[in-house]
Structure 1
Amino acid sequence: MDKHSGDNAIPEDNNVSHTIESFKETDIAKIALDSANVGIWIMDPASRKFFPSERTREMFGFLPKEEMSFEDAMLKVVDKQRKNVVEAIENAFKKRSILYIECPIIDLHDNKKRWLSITGGFSSSTVSNSYFSGIIMDITEQKQSDLRRSKFIGMVSHELKTPLTALKAYVQMLNNWAKKQKDNFTIGTLSKVDKQVKKMLNMINSLLNLSGAEAGKIHLNKAEFRLDVLINEVVEETLFITSTHNIIINPCNTVSINADRDKIEQVLVNLLSNAAKYSDNTADIEIGCVLKDSEVEVSIKDKGLGIAPADIDKLFMPHYRVESKETENIAGFGIGLYLCAEIINRHNGKIWVESEPGKGSNFKFTLPVS
């Protein structure tokens, strides 16, 4: 019997190898893009000439051979999001930085909303003779799944919050009774129960805020208040919960801002809690604020584990947690920093971190001053 006969025989065909060898890199790239259902685009930032692929046109609701300018594409973006998308793209051009945005568009053919992710970057590090190019993906199914999950989290969180609020009220009533009875043991025990209830309420509030952020529904109730006063209040409250750490308040300017006080308090609490969570009990944590022109910069510095450069760029993404032997036993959902970033961005501020493994981290954010 021929060794090549039978069901598993491999025919000796030189045409197969010749065909494979004749493939160009561009052919392989096109097949890969088509298989991944990805559109590509190229743009000259100087002339604003825009070159979309057929799949990119389709994703924006145009026919494959139909003309589509950059302005035409932006007109398909939902009205509320259009300004932010254009600003993000212009900012990437100006700073020569990586672009990544997610935006909803309305397809005029079927009048349905779809979600697209747009990624891009410069082809060259030099200013001359370079162009901006990227890919576009349809992430509608992923977004719908995320929204369903967010709605579920929001519903469950609301249901959990009601009995916990009642439990907190009963603990306070019992605590008042114990004080009248001068029952120190009961007072101490109820104090610990109250701390745990506060922790659970904070976690539930974080989940509610996460579902709101992912649905684009972080609402701000802005009012004028003193940021330096809020910082002192948050530090006092944090020391009550995590009394093992020493928090140093660096001299702060008298700063008034127009912002959502509760949301900024949440940012401060999250950053201070993180600093305490990822640093040794004996290590100091420093917090301070400095006026810089028309904005105030707040910093929370610790001497903890630090963050590797590869993790810094992903740190403010939802559900992202740094995975290492040192952090595997530290509890958390990976949503605190994401919520901080969403809140600060909604206030037209910036948030970032300066860190080095083994030498601690310095989280900073800015807010416009009144």
Structure 2
Amino acid sequence: DLARTYSFSLFCAYPMQGFGRGAYEAEFTEICKQHSRVVPAESYAALTSPDERLRAITLLQQKANSLEAEIVERKVAEKALRLSEIRYRRLFEAARDGVLILDPETRKILDANPFMEDLLGYPREELIGKELFEIGLLKDMSANQAMLRELQVKNCIRYEESLETTMGKPQEIEVVANLYDEGEKSIIQCNIRDITERKEIERRKDDFISIASHELKTPITSLKGFTQVLQRRLKKYADQEALRFLTIMDIQLNKLTNLINELLDISKMQQGKLDYREEYFDLDALIQEVVENLQAGTSTHQLLIEGRTAVQAFGDRDRIGQVLINLLTNAIKYSSEADMVLVCASKDEENAVVSVQDFGIGIAAAHHKQIFERFYQVTAPEEKTYSGLGMGLYICTEIIKRHQGRIWVESSKDHGSTFNFTLPLQMYHARASGNSSGTFPLKRGRAT
């Protein structure tokens, strides 16, 4: 009997006149329509010889087997998808970070995990349908818009901010937002971490650095004063050996003084208390002055200036000078096998541009961003021979940011480095024209 020998898919496609065609024709025709891979029975009505029917039956059996295999595969995929959804839901519910799912178009919350409820003090039902600013996130609407624009470009952003819970408790949080495609729609997933404790530890560390630096500065200043007095007295007795020792002491005291000053600067930057003066100054003259002073103290490198900015800058002359000193000192330090450092000055339509180029060991691309972070040091073996705590470039970055400029490096391993910074010309034009809606006064507030 054909029905017991072959699968149902084959059976429904077999010529129906042998199985009571009239009684079941409508049902079988509908089944064949639903299963597009099964050829309707009418196609086989003309097959009269046993060989033709056997070939048709064999072909249909192959199609039926293929269809059954596809069904099995689909069931396996559906089961895997269900398991994946269960795992995701478990992770979502058990995560020790807050998770928010947002609609990119309406910017409203679609879902929130239990940790988010604990963090903010809102029950999940009250979070759903709200926008971020309604729960204390991104209250600044312009910042909100800027973040969303950046997210659309980069697909991932990270930022820190402060908020208050429903009980008025202050919280410091870190937000990582990702833009994902979910079928035909997109979603924003925000992972939110409570960093209040970490920020408090950082504040205590900064306070300690500030106190320790102040306490160290007084005895160091006294030691330097006594060293200079001894140098003057010993010159009368022409004690060259003692003078040499005192000169070494003076050099080391200068290094220690610079280190303490950098620690104090970082501490003030973190607290938003670093003072900046506003004044006009000749940027080219400042470059010339810094280069001449450093050239007088080094015999290993020739410091060359190329080009001019022809800019009367407005800002803190001493702080911009500090940036130049840091960049040039690093260029000399990290190019011990070379004998030249090049300072290039220029301007374009928007910026004055200053570059410091060395011909030393270079910096691998993997470190180009991190070297501007506080206390970051490249850990390559050849770098360990150079002293430093990773503060100079961080200080440079904060100073240039305060002047609304940009600082970056162009470098590759073993091919030297070029550190560049810009100072926007609109700052000077706005100030010179008396336009109070320009970019001044200097940007203030806590460094981030």
> 1:192-219: per-residue Cα shift (whole Å, max 9, x none)?
4333222111111111122223334333
The AA in structure 1 aligned to 2:83 is K
Q: Which residue of 1 aligns with 2:125?
A: 65
Instruction: Answer yes or no: is 1:104 the counterpart of 2:162.
Output: yes
Out of 237, 255, 260, the position equivalent to 2:316 is 260
Farther off after superposition, 21-30 or 296-305: 21-30
Out of 310, 317, 339, the position equivalent to 2:373 is 317
Gap regions ≥5 residues in structure 2: 1-79, 429-448
Matches within 5 A, 1:1-370: 24-32=83-91, 37-43=96-102, 48-51=107-110, 53-54=112-113, 55-56=115-116, 59-60=119-120, 62-67=122-127, 68-73=130-135, 75=136, 82=140, 86=144, 89-90=147-148, 92-93=150-151, 95-96=153-154, 98-107=156-165, 109-123=166-180, 132-176=188-232, 181=236, 183=238, 185=240, 190-369=246-425, 370=428
Counterpart-to-counterpart distance in 2, 1:280 and 1:83:
51
Identity of paired residues, percent?
33
Counterpart-to-counterpart distance in 1, 2:134 and 2:347:
42
Contact 2:277–2:316 under 8 Å retained in 1: yes
Counterpart-to-counterpart distance in 2, 1:253 and 1:22:
62
Counterpart-to-counterpart distance in 2, 1:97 and 1:315:
24
The AA in structure 2 aligned to 1:236 is E
Counterpart-to-counterpart distance in 2, 1:283 and 1:27:
64
Secondary structure of 1:104's aligned partner: strand
Counterpart-to-counterpart distance in 1, 2:145 and 2:394:
21
Secondary structure of 1:282's aligned partner: coil
The structure carrying a bigger helix percent of its residues is 2
Counterpart-to-counterpart distance in 1, 2:354 and 2:386:
25
Q: Give the TM-score of the pair, scaled to structure 2.
A: 0.67
Contact 1:85–1:103 under 8 Å retained in 2: no
Root-mean-square deviation over aligned CA pairs: 3.2
Q: CA deviation at 1:145?
A: 0.3
Contact 1:195–1:241 under 8 Å retained in 2: no
Counterpart-to-counterpart distance in 1, 2:396 and 2:91:
37
Q: CA deviation at 1:152?
A: 0.5
Q: CA deviation at 1:300?
A: 1.2
Q: Which residue of 2 aligns with 1:14?
A: none
Contact 2:107–2:131 under 8 Å retained in 1: no
Secondary structure of 1:331's aligned partner: coil
Rg larger for? 2
Contact 1:88–1:99 under 8 Å retained in 2: no
Contact 1:146–1:214 under 8 Å retained in 2: no
The AA in structure 2 aligned to 1:103 is E
Q: CA deviation at 1:94?
A: 6.4
> 1:229-262: per-residue Cα shift (whole Å, max 9, x none)?
2222222333344432222111222222222223
> 1:76-106: per-residue Cα shift (whole Å, max 9, x none)?
56x8xx5895476256246436422222223
Structure with bigger RCO (C-alpha 8 Å, 6+ apart)? 1
Counterpart-to-counterpart distance in 2, 1:41 and 1:298:
44
Counterpart-to-counterpart distance in 1, 2:294 and 2:92:
51
Counterpart-to-counterpart distance in 2, 1:293 and 1:184:
59
